[in-house]
Amino acid sequence: MQPNQPNHHLHSTMSLQLGHKLSLEEIIEGSKQGNRKSQELLYKQYASKMLVVCARYAKDNFEAEDMLQVGFVKIFEKIKDYKGEGSFEGWVRRIMVNTSIEFYRKNARMFPVVDLDHAPESPVQENQLARLNMNDLLTLIRNLSPGYRLIFNMYAIEGFSHKEIAQELGISEGTSKSQLARARAILQENIKKMEGNHHEALR
């Protein structure tokens, strides 16, 4: 036996012990075939990230969990339609966002989006949001009323245009713009309060 020759038996044994780590493409393909193990791996890979997405739209953690579960049911129902074009995580995220919007639609009579006669121009600066940690940002967004929260998320975070928001929610572009302006004004006010409280706590 040559000294530099690899021990193929040892290599094979190690592979069996460690198991084959599936690639994302293999996990997606398995999920398309309805393989439960593949679906579990897909869930584990994206659940935490998508829960953060749902949490921004939800009124509390329980609703966020509901959104997540409904969203994953839709993902496994629609995954055969995914053709490998573009980011798979982006595809998953769009389904979660659409699921969150549908949750709002079901409660639209309780929380209607209405036009505002006067929407103050008090935009939140990007660096103000960037200074906040994830928990503080989530708290501020959740404290918005459902309509404000929905439109702020769709426009400022997901990148929907006012035209797209109007089409999704069955409202006018003007209503979308006025709701966004009001949401930003409320966030601006609450950021100042939060920063003031932090400053007082440090004194």
Mean pLDDT of the chain: 80
Task: Give the fold, CATH level 3, of 126-202.
Answer: Arc Repressor Mutant, subunit A (1.10.10)
Q: Region 139-143: what's the mean pLDDT?
A: 89
Q: What is the pLDDT of residue 138?
A: 85
In the structure, what pLDDT confidence band is assigned to residue 191 with cuts at 50, 70 and 90? confident
Of 15-29, 56-70, 165-179, give the lowest mean pLDDT range. 15-29
Q: Region 66-73: what's the mean pLDDT?
A: 97
Buried b (16+ CB within 10 A) or exposed e, 61-72: eeebeebbebbb
Cα(200)–Cα(183) distance, integer angstroms:
26
Whose CA is closest to 127, among 194, 202, 56, 191? 191
Output 139 or 130, whichever has higher pLDDT: 139
Contact residues for 151 (Cβ-Cβ < 8 A; gap 6+): 113, 165, 169, 176, 179, 180, 183
Whose CA is closest to 135, among 183, 198, 90? 198
Query: pLDDT exceeding 70 applies to what percent of the chain?
Result: 73
Cα(83)–Cα(137) distance, integer angstroms:
35
Cα(76)–Cα(84) distance, integer angstroms:
15
Q: What is the pLDDT of residue 82?
A: 94
Query: For residue 116, what are its two tokens?
Result: 């505002």
> Would you list the domain boundaries of the chain?
22-106, 126-202
Query: pLDDT exceeding 90 applies to what percent of the chain?
Result: 52
Does the domain spanning 22-106 belong to CATH 1.10.1740.10?
yes
Model confidence pTM above 0.85: no
Note the pLDDT tens digit of each residue in 93-135. 999 999 999 988 887 654 455 554 444 444 554 455 556 667 8
Output 4 or 94, whichever has higher pLDDT: 94
- Between vectors from CA 155 to CA 66 and to CA 194, what angle results, nearest 5°? 80
CA distances in angstroms from 154 to 41, 52, 54, 92, 197, listed in the order given: 29, 14, 12, 16, 29
Note the pLDDT tens digit of each residue in 40-58. 999 999 999 999 999 999 9
Q: What is the pLDDT of residue 6?
A: 43
In the structure, what pLDDT confidence band is assigned to residue 11 with cuts at 50, 70 and 90? very low
| pLDDT(91) > 80 | yes
Q: Region 178-184: what's the mean pLDDT?
A: 91
Of 20-24, 115-119, 127-131, 157-161, give the lowest mean pLDDT range. 115-119
